[in-house]
Amino acid sequence: MDTVVSGIRSTGNLHLGNYFGAIKNFTAMQHEYRCFFFIADYHSLTTHPTPENLQQNVKAALVEYLACGLDPEVCTMYIQSDLPETAELYLLLNMNAYVGELERVTSFKEKIRKHPDNINAGLLTYPVLMAADILIHKATKVPVGKDQEQHLEMSRTFGNRFNRLYKTEYFGEPMAFNFGNTLVKVPGLDGAGKMGKSESEGNALFLKDDAATIRKKMMRAVTDSGPTEPNSAKPEAIENLFSLMKLVSSSDTISHFETSYNNCNIRYGDLKKQLAEDMVTFMAPITQKILDIEKNHDYVKKVVLLGREKAKASAQKTIEEVRQIIGIRRF
């Protein structure tokens, strides 16, 4: 059975883009593959969260994974920092990762452009830690977005370099993987780009948002003055609203507003009100599950301990074999 590994940074609550872009597929693939899903708290340290925020964010991500349908009895859900084996493999891979190739990584160059006051070694070696996350379980499939494809390519590079250096074929080549038929890119509410935590305020609909917050955000979504020619192309901001509607609204609702747009008599206020109600209906069961699981501390702790045990069994085997290959052997 193929092994799938994927993680999400513990930098705050999950949003609708996380759900449709990744977690919905995770809930399906957990029944068909050997899946490891982890909360990437090591990765989040590059932004220097406070200790309180770090723990809160880890718990929030874990709870929301569970609320979305991941089953800890079926897949392996764990916290990245619960595996010291990952940190050790990260160290060992770093011995054969070169500064020049790391400095050429697109995401690193983008980060130092945006945050020139926080150019830390963790950002530089981010792809090495991602490689360790993947290779520690000898994953064959990795669900990644377009922005992570270069990191996955580097994971293959580091694995192949290890193989050549030690004359082995220990690590395979993890490949990009999309479980669904198409990759879903969920647009934000600010009229441009995808939904994200770090974008403008009000850009994202979070899984924990209550009905009033969802309605408020939807009514503030960016629109324009409306079409002036029948059957005209939609500007990005309007196309984004229709894209969101296709995720949660009925075909009759979508058809109604498509016709209104093409006939130049659409009322954006009505569209946003309808979309808000459809969003509330779709998200309410997930939101309620989040609130219920949050209160059940014993259950959350049980999930963490189970995930740690299952992940450690896989990771310990890999790190012991890697040590033997390298020559780090006990006397």
> What is Dmax (Cα atoms) for the chain?
81
- pLDDT confidence of 47, banded at 50, 70, 90? confident
Indicate the burial class of 166 (C-beta count within 10 angstroms; 0-12, 13-18, 19 or more).
middle
What is the average per-residue pLDDT within 2-12? 85
CA distance 59 to 183: 27
Joined together, the tokens standing for residue 204 give 């994202």
Per the prediction, the chain carries an average pLDDT of 91
Predicted confidence band at 177 (pLDDT cuts at 50, 70, 90)?
A: confident
Percentage of the chain beyond pLDDT 90 is 71
For residues 150-155, give the mean pLDDT. Answer: 86
Query: What letters, b where the CB count within 10 A reaches 16 and e where it falls short, cover 191-212?
Result: beebbeeebeebbbbbbbbeee
Whole-number pLDDT of residue 200: 58
> How far apart (Å, rounded) are the C-alpha atoms in residues 291 and 237?
32
Q: What is the pLDDT of residue 145?
A: 65
Residues contacting residue 50 through CB under 8 Å, at least 6 positions apart:
none
pLDDT band at 107 (very low <50, low <70, confident <90, very high): confident
Please write down the HEC assignment for all residues of 297-314.
HHHHHHHHHHHHHHHHHH
Burial of 32 (0-12, 13-18, 19+ CB in 10 A): exposed
Question: Hey, is 11 helix, strand or coil?
Answer: coil
Q: What DSSP string runs through 22-55? A: IIHHHHHHTTTSEEEEEEEHHHHGGG---HHHHH
Is 9 a residue whose pLDDT tops 80? no
Radius of gyration of the chain, Cα coordinates, nearest whole angstrom: 22
pLDDT reported for residue 11:
73
pTM value is 0.85
pLDDT for position 146: 63
pLDDT (0 to 100) of residue 241: 94
Write out pLDDT tens, residues 108-124.
Answer: 888 888 888 888 999 89
CATH number of 3-177+297-326: 3.40.50.620
Label residue 138 left, alpha or beta by phi (over 0 means left) and psi (-120 to 50 means alpha).
left
Span 50-70, pLDDT tens digits? 998 999 999 999 999 999 999
Closest listed residue to residue 41, CA positions, set 68, 11, 65: 11
Q: 34-40 and 141-142 as β-strands: parallel, antiparallel, unpaired?
A: unpaired
- The residue with greater pLDDT, 29 or 193, is 29
List the catalytic residues.
Answer: 111, 194, 197
What is the pLDDT averaged over residues 129-137? 96
The pLDDT score that the predictor gives to residue 183 is 63
The two structure tokens encoding residue 242 = 């229709």
Range in 28-32, 116-120, 300-304 the model is least confident about: 116-120
Rounded to whole angstroms, how far apart are CA atoms 32 and 41? Answer: 27
Q: Return d(Cα 63, Cα 207) in angstroms, integer.
A: 11
Tabulate helix, strand, coil % of the chain (nearest 5).
60, 10, 35
Domain residue ranges in the chain: 3-177+297-326, 211-291
What's residue 182's pLDDT?
A: 62
Most confidently modeled range among 28-37, 111-120, 198-207: 28-37
β-pairing, 175-176 vs 76-79, is unpaired
Over range 238-261, report the average pLDDT: 95
Give CATH for domain 211-291. Answer: 1.10.240.10
Which token pair is 110? 């983008």
